[in-house]
Structure 1
Amino acid sequence: MAMWIQAQQLQGEALHQMQALYGQHFPIEVRHYLAQWIESQLWDSVELDNPAEETKAKRLLDNLVAELQRKAQLQGGEDGFLLKIKLGHYASQLKSTYDRCPLELVRCIKHILHSEQRLVQEATNASCGSGGQAMDTLSQRHQQINQAFEELRLATQETENELRKLQHSQEYFIIQYQENLRIQAQLSSLSSLPPAERTQRETTLQSKRATVEAWLTREASTLQKYRLNLSEQHQKTLSLLRKQQTLILDEELIQWKRRQQLAGNGGPHEGGLDVLQSWCEKLADLIWQNRQQIRRCEHLTQQLPLPGPMEELLSKLNADITDIISALVTSTFIIEKQPPQVLKTQTKFAATVRLLVGGKLNVHMNPPQVKAVIVSEQQAKALLKNESTHSESSGEILNNNCVMEYHQATGTLSAHFRNMSLKRIKRSDRRGAESVTEEKFTVLFESQFSVGGNELVFHVKTLSLPVVVIVHGSQDNNATATVLWDNAFAEPGRVPFIVPDKVLWPQLCEALDMKYKAEMHSGRGLSEDNLVFLAQKAFTSSSNNPEDYRNMTISWAQFNRESLPGRNFTFWQWFDGVVELMKKHLKPHWNDGAILGFVNKQQAQDMLLSKPNGTFLLRFSDSEIGGITIAWVAENPNKPGERLVWNLLPYTTKDFSIRSLADRISDLNHLLFLYPDRPKDEVFAKYYTPPLSKAVDGYVKPQIKQVVPEFTTPNPEPSSGAPTFMDQTASPSVSHPNNFGVYPSMSDSMLDPDGDFDLEDTMDVARHVEELLRRPIANQWSSQQS
């Protein structure tokens, strides 16, 4: 309800814009009386483009109607009688309007709430500015645009007033001109009168004619001046319109598209499209008004031709205004929801295109159809250079035609492609070391429609962000690298799809940090130390000084074409493996600050040797994609008094699908403190799996547990609640040994001096589990229980 309280305090134009959000589609009284209920609902959780969400939307509609009816019943007394009837009427009206299309109700309310929030925010920023505090850049820019619109509105109103004056003056001129013709006719008819009478009448008529002709001469000059002045005013207005349109289309819209592109790398979700649409609609309205005025000027000029340059001036004005509206319409045909940039064949995908001026120009009166085709990089270049008049395709997209729909509640005209699928793709010849995952395509959306009763016909096209087509999930990693590099470093207005081959290291750091934070869904991204670690890996360097990397460049080949020294994977493949592991299994621990991650083996050793025994940390594996290991400090079992840092064989996604990281850490009793000095239970206990339930139908469930035999300590008593292989509430006839001898003992040779396991002599946890479950002892336990 807080938002509605603030919205009611809006003033001036902001209040007018807020009131304009409401109407028969959603009465403002419903917003007022159900303010608290409306603001407490999870409208944003409904995906408008997903038909499966219709059930959720229907439930929201039914609840809204029920809440209105309940509110109506609560109204009592004489004053409440009319309100009771009105609220009941609104309940029936909303039910009738949206019962068959409940998603439209959600779309309407989301639009209203987001618009209110924007208006309140803008008003808040403006009030801060008037109080002497500097407004942020965004608010200043919006204020400048709104001021320019007010100037244009006044200029258009002024030319409209001048045009009406011109029209009235010209109409009076024509009347007087007709009067002059009538006098001429009367003079011609005097020959039939007697001489005396003829002379008297002739003198009077000639005097009258002289007066009228003198007036017509003066008035003709005045009319010509009016026309020239009006033409100059129109030229000034068109100049302002062009300037405002350039600001909105070439700056604001381009910036929105750039934010949309960066959103593909995990940047903030692009917002502000509704604001852009409102600006574009204002432009369309003003341009159309001026165009109509120029057309009326042309009509007046044809109605009363006068000597002078008016015909040429009006012809130029008409051409200029047509160019302006053409640029507006073709530039505002945009992709609201991009298709996936890594596009797998035979897989369903979606996209949404929108015409920002569709509602204002009444395009929806004859809804246009939009077609989608996939084109190659070369075909995209030809299209932008106008070298290709027809749309060649590099593949076949199923369900690639869609009719644009007008949503009255939001005033948007859009086409929702919900079930497209790329059936096949035709690849071009690749150059040099380029792989299929470096080849870029784009989805071309095109349509044709008319405005002004077929007066102007537009053929519009727009290209999606570059897409990389794959046929197997194993290609996703490298395809994502191509997309990330393109999204991060593409320049506005580039030739498709040119990107720099080298970029500064800090630029890449920004892109990696953006990606990482997005996948972790938190503000904790990559620290400066993390980025130094990545620089060391990328450049095979040992420097710990961030400044040493500030001016270094990294090439695409170093990023994801050439393998790291001594490895069979690239820098990006290693980093993406880390991201995938964290996203799927370790996100909460990263957000808790429990994982250092970007630490090499030597750094881990230096850090841990200064800490008490049992201190451990988690770091990403250098040698394995998507691996994380535990490093800890402990006494050397073979040399009392000597302390060593040990490293467990790295865990991967496969391991964590068997047993979680928190449970694995809980299993290892020799791990006591998370670096630097946090008790492990304080950090991880909230993620431990609860103890198993009691036996069911006489059977005891086995439980997986991890051990490192060299560091195994006697098992805690059952009363401690610590998990063991057997359920703590099992039958008393089942005994639990003090140590877990079911695992084979591990010789000293199985650990290297740094504490790493030898892959050839050990088994990972999954194989330990298989070994355990195959042992006869398990059957003996079962028989004992039975």
Structure 2
Amino acid sequence: MAMWIQAQQLQGEALHQMQALYGQHFPIEVRHYLAQWIESQLWDSVELDNPAEEAKAKRLLDNLVAELQRKAQLQGGEDGFLLKIKLGHYASQLKSTYDRCPLELVRCIKHILHSEQRLVQEATNVSTEGAMDSLSQRHQQINQAFEELRLATQETENELRKLQHSQEYFIIQYQENLRIQAQLSSLSSLPPAERTQRETTLQSKRATVEAWLTREATTLQKYRLDLSEQHQKTLGLLRKQQTLILDEELIQWKRRQQLAGNGGPHEGGLDVLQSWCEKLADLIWQNRQQIRRCEHLTQQLPLPGPMEELLSKLNSDITDVISALVTSTFIIEKQPPQVLKTQTKFAATVRLLVGGKLNVHMNPPQVKAVIVSEQQAKALLKNESTHSESSGEILNNNCVMEYHQATGTLSAHFRNMSLKRIKRSDRRGAESVTEEKFTVLFESQFSVGGNELVFHVKTLSLPVVVIVHGSQDNNATATVLWDNAFAEPGRVPFVVPDKVLWPQLCEALDMKYKAEMHSGRGLSEDNLVFLAQKAFTNSSNNPEDYRTMTISWAQFNRESLPGRNFTFWQWFDGVVELMKKHLKPHWNDGAILGFVNKQQAQDMLMSKPNGTFLLRFSDSEIGGITIAWVAENPNKSGERLVWNLLPYTTKDFSIRSLADRISDLNHLLFLYPDRPKDEVFAKYYTPPLCMHGGSLAAKAVDGYVKPQIKQVVPDMVNAVNTFLFLNVCLCSCSVRNDTMLDADGDFDLEDTMDVARHVEELLRRPMANQWSSQQS
């Protein structure tokens, strides 16, 4: 209810916009009397594009109607009688309107709530900041221009009516002059005396009328020229406004939508853009109709002068303007996935921002989707290809546009598309299949003004990379990230630079990382220096040097890192996947340093007390993280060493969590620099099995007690080269003993069981299994 209280305090244009959200589709009285109930419901949890959610939407509708009826019954007394009748009527009205399409009710209320929130936030920002930011100033500039256009259009409408009235009176006087001439012609049959008298009177009257017609013809010509000049001026303002909205605001929205594919902020603001485009469409159409009426008046009463040519040019120009508006506002509201796997269902939504205003929905157009190659996309944009060639087959690729009255949007929701097959082009040089770009082309045809104007519209999706197996996802994502980050507006499909400045790539990586972590903690300057040292073979010790360095696509994800069998991106993406799936809370808590190499870890830990540890990403393994800690050398008294565990991977954390593994290792005491480990990780520990009277309280249904895995580090003995291992198997079945340590750092072991036997021989004793529970 808090938002409704704030919404009622809006003033001026904001209040007018808020009131315009309501109508017969959803009365404002319902919003007022059920404010608290409406704001407490989980409207956003309903997926509007999923037909399976209709049952959830139906429950919300039924609950809304029931709540209205309950509220109506509570009204009493003389004053409450009319309100009781009104609320009961609204309950019946909403039930009959949305009973067969409950998802439309959810769509309507979501639109209302989001719009109210936006209006309240904008009003709050203006009042608290005391001055509008550049975005608000630009919006104010656009709104002021619309007001100027509205006044100019109203003025030309008034002038046109004056011209029409003047012309109609001129025609009446012209007919009067013809009548006088006819009377003069008929005087020949009269007696001479009478004829002379009447002829003198008629001649005088005709002279007066003809003089008036001559003067009025000149005035009409001036009216027409003045009006055409006003239309020319208005047309210039319309073009300027349209350029601002389509070439700046809409392009910026599309750019934000593209960056959202890399994890950038969500590309909101489409409803504002639609309102601007609808105002443009309305004003352009009004002016076009005025120009056509001028043409009709000119044809009705031809006068000497250039008016016909002027009006014809104006008509042609304004038709071009509205054509550009319609074709540019056929946009993709929800992009198809940019990594597109064959034989997998996917969705997309296209929208015509001016569809409701131009009444396109009166004859709903059909939209078709086809997948085209980069070369085919180039040909389409150059108008070298008029028909849509396809590079594959998309199932369920036709959809009819639907008009949603509550939001005033005309859109087509492709809910169940699937790419059945793909036809690849010949690859160039070292290019792999995951570097080949396609795009989904959406096209439609519709008419406006009673088939007066017919438009064939097309729009291309963001580039997509087609894969046939999940193992290709990593490299396909690299192609998409590079394209989204470095694509220029108006580019030839789908050209991107081969090299970019390192800080530009850092911005893209940071955006991706923050989005996956769902927090404001992204990559620090130290993290980015670490990444630069990994990306560039000849690493510099001066962070400033990286600011002017460039990194190529090949360095990013084509060439393997020195001494490794994976690329820079594959390593970074492995880190992101590991963090996203298992370690996100620890990163957001600041518990993981991560981007630290082995030598840095050693330098940091050697100055700290024994038992101090840190977590860093593995250099040698994709998606691995290791624990490094400082401790006494068990083989040399007084010497301290930094030990590194064999890296954990996502497979390890699916068995036992990081927090529990750290809890198991009693020799780990302080998280670098000096935080007690329980203070950091205790809230993530798995509770131990409860014991009651010496017996386990929790038993499996079949009577077996489930053991709990626990990792240990055996006593460190013998030489530094003695390999020791963690994660001893704690049940009768075989569990991978994959947690290894050495005094030098990371290494790979192919057969851990052979190593286990080797360690057992070295220790001259069997490895003891440790259980966290006793058999009953």
TM bucket (normalised to shorter chain) is over 0.9
Superposition deviation, residue 63 in structure 1? 2.0
| Partner SS state of residue 712, structure 2 | coil
1:589/1:595 contact within 8 Å kept: yes
Distance 1:444 1:749 in 2: 50
2:439/2:461 contact within 8 Å kept: yes
Superposition deviation, residue 365 in structure 1? 0.2
Deviations 1:432-457 (A, max 9, x none): 00000000000000000000000000
Superposition deviation, residue 782 in structure 1? 15
Relative to structure 1, is the Cα distance of residues 590 and 206 closer, same or farther in structure 2, using a 3 angstrom cutoff? same
Distance 2:771 2:530 in 1: 50
Superposition deviation, residue 417 in structure 1? 0.3
1:501/1:555 contact within 8 Å kept: yes
Question: Identity of aligned pairs, percent?
Answer: 97
2:708/2:771 contact within 8 Å kept: no
Deviations 1:144-184 (A, max 9, x none): 00000000000000000000000000000000011111111
Deviations 1:528-570 (A, max 9, x none): 1100000000013443432110000000000000000000000
Deviations 1:586-632 (A, max 9, x none): 11111111111000011111111111111111100000000000111
Relative to structure 1, is the Cα distance of residues 611 and 542 closer, same or farther in structure 2, using a 3 angstrom cutoff? farther
2:58/2:103 contact within 8 Å kept: yes
Superposition deviation, residue 698 in structure 1? 4.5
Superposition deviation, residue 9 in structure 1? 2.2
| Structure 1 counterpart of 2:324, from 324, 327, 335 | 327
Relative to structure 1, is the Cα distance of residues 721 and 100 closer, same or farther in structure 2, using a 3 angstrom cutoff? farther
2:645/2:741 contact within 8 Å kept: no
Relative to structure 1, is the Cα distance of residues 405 and 274 closer, same or farther in structure 2, using a 3 angstrom cutoff? same
1:655/1:766 contact within 8 Å kept: no
Superposition deviation, residue 237 in structure 1? 0.3
Match of 1:270 in 2: 267
Distance 2:538 2:506 in 1: 16
Relative to structure 1, is the Cα distance of residues 194 and 107 closer, same or farther in structure 2, using a 3 angstrom cutoff? same
Relative to structure 1, is the Cα distance of residues 446 and 109 closer, same or farther in structure 2, using a 3 angstrom cutoff? same
Deviations 1:329-376 (A, max 9, x none): 000000000000000000000000000000000000000000000000
| Partner SS state of residue 443, structure 2 | strand
| Partner SS state of residue 137, structure 2 | helix
Superposition deviation, residue 85 in structure 1? 1.2
Relative to structure 1, is the Cα distance of residues 638 and 124 closer, same or farther in structure 2, using a 3 angstrom cutoff? same
Task: Calculate the TM-score normalised by the size of structure 1.
Answer: 0.91
Relative to structure 1, is the Cα distance of residues 178 and 6 closer, same or farther in structure 2, using a 3 angstrom cutoff? same
Superposition deviation, residue 677 in structure 1? 1.1
Relative to structure 1, is the Cα distance of residues 336 and 254 closer, same or farther in structure 2, using a 3 angstrom cutoff? same
Relative to structure 1, is the Cα distance of residues 110 and 751 closer, same or farther in structure 2, using a 3 angstrom cutoff? closer
1:156/1:237 contact within 8 Å kept: yes
Match of 2:722 in 1: 724
| Partner SS state of residue 216, structure 1 | helix
2:646/2:739 contact within 8 Å kept: no
2:367/2:398 contact within 8 Å kept: yes
Relative to structure 1, is the Cα distance of residues 344 and 643 closer, same or farther in structure 2, using a 3 angstrom cutoff? same
Distance 2:457 2:336 in 1: 19
Distance 1:770 1:83 in 2: 85
Superposition deviation, residue 686 in structure 1? 1.1
2:369/2:394 contact within 8 Å kept: yes
Q: Which moved more, 1:413-422 or 1:57-66?
A: 57-66
2:281/2:357 contact within 8 Å kept: yes
Relative to structure 1, is the Cα distance of residues 776 and 635 closer, same or farther in structure 2, using a 3 angstrom cutoff? closer
2:365/2:444 contact within 8 Å kept: yes
Distance 1:180 1:698 in 2: 116
Relative to structure 1, is the Cα distance of residues 100 and 767 closer, same or farther in structure 2, using a 3 angstrom cutoff? farther
Superposition deviation, residue 689 in structure 1? 1.2
| Partner SS state of residue 94, structure 1 | helix
Relative to structure 1, is the Cα distance of residues 197 and 23 closer, same or farther in structure 2, using a 3 angstrom cutoff? same
Distance 2:216 2:703 in 1: 112
Q: Which moved more, 1:289-298 or 1:93-102?
A: 93-102
Match of 2:648 in 1: 651
Deviations 1:226-253 (A, max 9, x none): 0000000000000000000000000000
Deviations 1:27-48 (A, max 9, x none): 0001111112222222222221
2:366/2:445 contact within 8 Å kept: yes
| Structure 2 counterpart of 1:378, from 375, 378, 391 | 375
Alignment of 1:667 with 2:657, yes or no, is no
Deviations 1:689-742 (A, max 9, x none): 122x357664321111111113xxxxxxxxx9999999xxxxxxxxxxxxxxxx
Relative to structure 1, is the Cα distance of residues 174 and 75 closer, same or farther in structure 2, using a 3 angstrom cutoff? same
Distance 1:519 1:782 in 2: 35
| Partner SS state of residue 446, structure 1 | strand
Task: Calculate the TM-score normalised by the size of structure 2.
Answer: 0.92
Relative to structure 1, is the Cα distance of residues 781 and 749 closer, same or farther in structure 2, using a 3 angstrom cutoff? closer
Match of 1:485 in 2: 482
1:704/1:769 contact within 8 Å kept: no
| Structure 2 counterpart of 1:160, from 151, 157, 165 | 157
| Partner SS state of residue 776, structure 1 | coil
Superposition deviation, residue 118 in structure 1? 2.3
Superposition deviation, residue 5 in structure 1? 2.0
Superposition deviation, residue 756 in structure 1? 4.6
Distance 1:486 1:349 in 2: 21
Superposition deviation, residue 751 in structure 1? 5.0
Relative to structure 1, is the Cα distance of residues 362 and 772 closer, same or farther in structure 2, using a 3 angstrom cutoff? farther
Distance 1:752 1:778 in 2: 20
Superposition deviation, residue 10 in structure 1? 2.3
Superposition deviation, residue 682 in structure 1? 1.2
Relative to structure 1, is the Cα distance of residues 777 and 119 closer, same or farther in structure 2, using a 3 angstrom cutoff? closer
Relative to structure 1, is the Cα distance of residues 361 and 775 closer, same or farther in structure 2, using a 3 angstrom cutoff? farther
Superposition deviation, residue 395 in structure 1? 0.4
Relative to structure 1, is the Cα distance of residues 141 and 635 closer, same or farther in structure 2, using a 3 angstrom cutoff? same
Relative to structure 1, is the Cα distance of residues 305 and 666 closer, same or farther in structure 2, using a 3 angstrom cutoff? same
| Partner SS state of residue 460, structure 1 | strand
1:348/1:420 contact within 8 Å kept: yes
Relative to structure 1, is the Cα distance of residues 214 and 113 closer, same or farther in structure 2, using a 3 angstrom cutoff? same
| Partner SS state of residue 332, structure 2 | strand
